[in-house]
Each structure stands twice: as C-alpha cells, then as structure tokens.
Amino acid sequence: MTLLQRSASGSAPASLESFPLKIGDFSGFLPNLPATCHKKAGEQVATPTDEARNVIYVTAGWAFSYRLLDDGRRQILHIHLPGNLIGLSTITRDVAAWGCEAITEFTYVPLCRDALMAQAWGRPDLALRITAEAVRGEILLRERLADVARRSARERVANFLLELYCRSQSIQVELGAGTRISIPLTQDKIADAVGLTSIHVSRTLRAFKAAGIIRYQGHDLQIVDPGNLKRISTFDDQYILWLQRPNFAEQHSGKIIRS
Amino acid sequence: MTLLQRSASGSAPASLESFPLKIGDFSGFLPNLPATCHKKAGEQVATPTDEARNVIYVTAGWAFSYRLLDDGRRQILHIHLPGNLIGLSTITRDVAAWGCEAITEFTYVPLCRDALMAQAWGRPDLALRITAEAVRGEILLRERLADVARRSARERVANFLLELYCRSQSIQVELGAGTRISIPLTQDKIADAVGLTSIHVSRTLRAFKAAGIIRYQGHDLQIVDPGNLKRISTFDDQYILWLQRPNFAEQHSGKIIRS
DNA sequence: CGTAGTGTTGATCAATGTCAAAATTTGTGG
DNA sequence: CCACAAATTTTGACATTGATCAACACTACG
C-alpha cells in the first residue's frame, strides 16, 4: 500500500495516487496494532480530569466526547464511529475539560501522543492525514454550531439523524441494510448533542413518527420517508455526500499535493 | 531561526527547542511574504459560492467567517485576528458553503492551498504547525458550541466579550491598554456569533452597562468589573489563559516531539 | 442636513424548558 | 422464563427565555 511508503527525502509525491487524502481510516498507518483496549457501554474512555491523554483510534463501537459545564450541564461535542481519531486536540495544550464515554461495547487503540507526533515528523503522509482528520472534526462542529444556534428543534433532530445515518453508512461496520440503522443513543444523549431537552427530543421524534417519517423502536431507526426528513432538516446534499464518502481523492483529482 | 530549518532526513528534532509548537503566528514560515491583499471593512474576503479557495494568513485587521443558511440566517463561525489562518478546511474537500467578510480594514496573504500542502510535505514543522492551527479552530468552536447550546444569553454574551478580549490581548496589534479594547463589531454581528437576536444582544449589553460591569460606547469596550463578568460567564480560567498565550511550548516543556 | 445604518424600547408571542407523574422498556438475578 | 428494579420515554400543565414586530432615537458620514 503506497500510503505506507516513507517519502524518501521529504519531497512531495509525484501524483495524488501516492497520497489519497482519505480521512477516517488510519488502519493503514497502524499495521501492527498496539494493544487494543476495551470498554463496556457507559464506561469512561477519558474523563474531564485526566491529565495526560492519548489520541484514540476507534476500531469498533461508538463513543461520544462531551464538555461538562460547571452546573452539570453536558454538551456532546462529537459522536465517534469506527475509524475516527479522538482527542487530536491534545496535540496542542488542550484547555477544555472534556471527556469521552463509550456508547456501545467499544474497542480502541490508544496512541501515545508524543510517539504519534514523532512518527508524523518523519512521515508527511501521516502528518497530513492527521490534519485532514482535525479539519474533519472542525467541519462537523461547524455544522452542529450553525444547527444549534440557528435552527429549530425539528430541524436539529432531523439533521442529527441524517448525519448519523450518513456517517455510519460510510464506515465498515455492520449496521443493517437499507434505510435502517441502529442508533444506540438514548434520547437523553441526542438531546445533549443537539442542545435540547430530552423531553423535547421525545416530543419531536414522536411527531416524526406520527407523520410517518421515521420508525424508531428501541434503538432501531428506520427512515421511512427520507425525502421528507431531508426537507425538514434543510440538509445540504453536498454535505450528505461528504459524510457518506469522505474520500477527497476523487474530488480533487490530483490537485491536493503537487510539487 | 530554527523553525525555518528543513529537517534533514525526516527524523524528529532532538528537543522541543527546535520546534516550539506555538500557534497563531506563521510569519516565520513566510519569510518573503507573497503579495499582500487588502479589503475594506465590509468587503468579502471569500464568498460562499467560491469554488477554489486559498488559505488566508491574516496580517492585519479583523474578519469573520460565517455559514449562511438557506433561509438567509447567518451563523458566524470564527472571528479571525492577525496571525490566524483562515480556511484550513479547504485542505480536504470543504463542504460547507461559508464565506469570510472583513470587519475592519483588512490585510492578508492568500496562500495557494496546493503550494502550502506541497511545502508542508517536506517540512514536518510546518505540517504540525498547520495541524496545531486546525486544532485551535476546533477548540474555539467546541467552546462556542457548548455556549450556544447550553448557556443563557447573559452567559453567552459575557463569554464572547471575554474571549475576544483575551484573544486580542495575545496578539501583536494595537488595541489600547488595560481593560479597554476596541471591538469593531456591530451588535448584529455579535448576535450572529452567539446565536441570538441583535435586539436581545442590545438588551443584554444594556443590562451589563446598567449594572456597571462594562462600558461600551461606540465600539470601545471597557471591562469595568472583570470579576463580575467572569462570574456571569462562568468562564474557565484555564481557557482564558490559553486564549491569551496560546504558546504550548512552555506547557509541554520538550515533550511534544521527541524521538 | 439628510440618509442609511445601528441601537433602543415596549408589547406581544412562540418555542422550548421545567416539573411531576405515569407508562414503557431494558436489564438482572433467580 | 419470570419478577422486579432501574432506566428511559411519554404526557400534561405551566413557566420562561428569547424572538418578533414596530416604532423611534441616535450616529456617522457624505
């Protein structure tokens, strides 16, 4: 796999072929995975009080990272799916007191930050891959911010469901076929992600169900009327596409890196 | 300046001294600044419809980047100050339709994305610096998200003022002394940044003024009672510190990069 | 001066939060 | 497989925050 080639002298590769800027999968960089760790659903992967933090590479299961406010309020910042990198912010000094909790049975590889940085130092491909992942985090946050700050509860919930739906589709993990996925989140957590009360989330989902837009039993989400849900959410098609296939190689056709 | 040395063979530098992971200042990487561009207050630096985008290095003045929603609503994503890098998200395929507008007289260096990437390819120091800047963007967004999603109007506005105050302090730009800075933002823009109505921002600021917490005439903000403002905002001291001096070198004392 | 942009004020309204209790689901040990 | 406990979801009544609308005041700048 060309990704693993060490660029000999620090010069840019001849073409993009040798550096597809695909985000969301670092397994190519971790040929011999270090010891995998494991948490049960609900356990903390990292707590807001942790001093030293590792960067975490998700190999299986879901987790979320959150920011705790003084008064106990919680804001969920990211939902992490397999292939994601958690805690890149520790590369610099990280200020926010944030934590990470397993949503499902959760498997991951903790990567020592210093070692990761040392590796990246000698491997521009890895360095840029990390940057791409950091940027991806920012794009997701940007959308969430616009969502929470400027959209109604209906729109937010619709958006959130679609986002998760699309993201989980793009990842090599068993999630059921068709328009049906398992969303192992309590409404409480959905609320903390979109900035609402769990009570209001309940009402909103209920309304969607009543309108025949979704079916949502247990943690099984079925999007019955995707068109309608998209209309409600005012979801950007481009964005959907990107969420489903975050591989930039095709789009830029060789323009990302060129000497 | 050691930062400019090309790491000879892709190996990590011996100590942090040769790689202070200081964010927010790229001038060291741009010894011979390419042509500087210039916009007047209110002009667009980038529009949501732009196809090809440059990464923008801010040399003087303020700007903000925003996300426009379908229905005309606007969410301000970042306030950019001198030393910041705008548009890193274009490193990957950028999906969101966002734009950037000059707040004041605004001077910047447009950096061709491909060229920047090509440079970073051969220079791990630059690559990591870019990553640090991307991460910094994420941290700011994270705080804003928690703010908008979970805090009251009072808290948000207080937070916003303090954040800008701290950020502008850390930057080499003339902003007046003491607890007085110039915030060249209309209340309209403050509103779009913190997810409120300009009317409500007006009321909130008015209340702060009435309580003797701030003075705010024209665009001149004077924090009369910082303690009180901090109490209202529930601002994290760590975060304040970080905003004022985002230089990570000291904190990590040589631990960031080590082979 | 006059005009456009910005800020202020008050009245009213709608969306969402809060509280409390009941209904339902999930998980667990026997 | 059951019974029970705990967690989650749902419902209704009510409170509150911040939005909306509309008018007016102020400011800045040509």
- Across the A:B interface, residue pairs with CB atoms under 8 Å apart total 228
pLDDT, residue B203, reads 97
Q: Read off the pLDDT of residues A67-113 as tens digits, 9 standing for 90 and up.
A: 999 888 999 999 999 888 999 988 887 777 899 999 999 999 998 88
Subunit contact B124:A121, Cβ cutoff 8 A: yes
C1'-nearest nucleotide to the CA of B42? C5
B189 CA to C7 C1' distance (Å): 13
Which of B74, B114, B132 is the closest to A258 by Cβ? B114
Mean pLDDT taken over chain A: 79
- CA B57 to CA B59: how far, in whole Å? 6
pLDDT, residue A202, reads 97
Q: Read off the pLDDT of residues A123-172 as tens digits, 9 standing for 90 and up.
A: 888 888 888 888 889 999 999 999 999 999 999 999 999 999 888 875 44
For residue A70, the chain B residues in CB contact (below 8 A) are 234
Work out if A205's Cβ lies within 7 angstroms of strand D: yes
Q: Which residue is nearest to the C1' sugar atom of D8, using CA?
A: A186
Q: What is the DSSP letter of B4?
A: G
**3-class secondary structure per residue, chain A:** CHHHCCCCCCCCCCCHHHCCCECCCCHHHCCCCCCCEEECCCCEEECCCCCCCCEEEEEECCEEEEEECCCCCEEEEEEECCCCEECHHHHCCCCCCEEEEECCCEEEEEECHHHHHHHHHHCHHHHHHHHHHHHHHHHHHHHHHHHHHHCCHHHHHHHHHHHHHHHHHCCCCCCCCCCEEECCCCHHHHHHHHCCCHHHHHHHHHHHHHCCCEEEECCEEEECCHHHHHHHHCCCHHHHHHHHCCEHHHHHCCCCCCC
A95 CA to D30 C1' distance (Å): 48
- Residue A38 reports pLDDT greater than 50: yes
pLDDT, residue A251, reads 36
For residue A117, the chain B residues in CB contact (below 8 A) are 12, 128, 256-257
- Residue A1 reports pLDDT greater than 70: no
C1'-nearest nucleotide to the CA of B73? D19
Q: Which residues of chain B have pLDDT under 50?
A: 1-21, 171-178, 248-259
pLDDT, residue B190, reads 97
pLDDT, residue A114, reads 82
When comparing pLDDT for A180 and B207, which is higher? Answer: B207
CB-based contacts of A31, cutoff 8 Å, min separation 6: A4
Å between B183 CA and nearest CA of chain A: 22
Q: What is the dihedral of CA A182, A186, A191, A193, to 10 degrees?
A: -60
pLDDT, residue B226, reads 85
- DSSP three-state, residue B26: coil
pLDDT, residue B185, reads 94
Mean pLDDT over residues A174-186, rounded? Answer: 67
pLDDT band at A206 (very low <50, low <70, confident <90, very high): very high
pLDDT band at A25 (very low <50, low <70, confident <90, very high): low
pLDDT, residue B145, reads 97
